[in-house]
Amino acid sequence: MSEKIRKTVHDDILDIIPQLSLDCVIFGFHDSTLKVLLLKWKGSNIYSLPGGFVKQTESVDQAAVRVLKERTALDEIFLRQFYTFGKVKRYDNEAVGQKLAHLIEESVFHERVVSIGYYALVDYEKVFPNPDELTEKCEWFDLEEVPELLFDHNEILDKALKALRFELSFQPIGLNLLPDKFTMPDMQRMYEAILAKKIDPRNFQKKILKTGIVIRLNEVKKGVAHKSPYLYRFDQNRYKEVLEEGGLFFI
φ, ψ at 52 (rounded to 5°): 165, -175
Worst-scoring range by mean pLDDT, 41-45, 214-218, 240-244?
A: 240-244
> Is the pLDDT at 203 greater than 60, yes or no?
yes
Helices (H), 20-152: 60-72, 93-99
User: Which residue segments constitute the domains of the chain, with CATH numbers given?
Assistant: 3-168 (3.90.79.10), 182-245 (1.10.10.10)
Question: pLDDT tier at 6 (50, 70, 90 boundaries)?
Answer: very low
pLDDT tens digits for 169-201? 888 889 999 999 999 999 999 999 999 999 999
pLDDT tens digits for 20-77? 999 999 999 999 999 999 999 999 999 999 999 999 999 999 999 999 999 999 988 8
> Is the sign of the CA dihedral 84, 60, 236, 223 positive or negative?
negative
Question: 182: buried, middle or exposed (CB in 10 Å: 19+, 13-18, 0-12)?
Answer: buried
CB 75 within 8 A of CB 69: yes
> Is the pLDDT at 164 greater than 90, yes or no?
yes
% pLDDT > 90, the chain: 70
Question: pLDDT tier at 158 (50, 70, 90 boundaries)?
Answer: very high
CB 126 within 8 A of CB 14: no
Question: What pLDDT is attached to residue 221?
Answer: 85
Mean pLDDT of 157-162: 98
Mean pLDDT of 225-238: 88
Mean pLDDT of 91-108: 85
CB 166 within 8 A of CB 153: no
> Is the pLDDT at 223 greater than 60, yes or no?
yes
Question: pLDDT tier at 2 (50, 70, 90 boundaries)?
Answer: very low
Q: pTM surpassing 0.75?
A: yes
φ, ψ at 210 (rounded to 5°): -65, -30
pLDDT tens digits for 7-28? 445 445 568 898 999 999 999 9
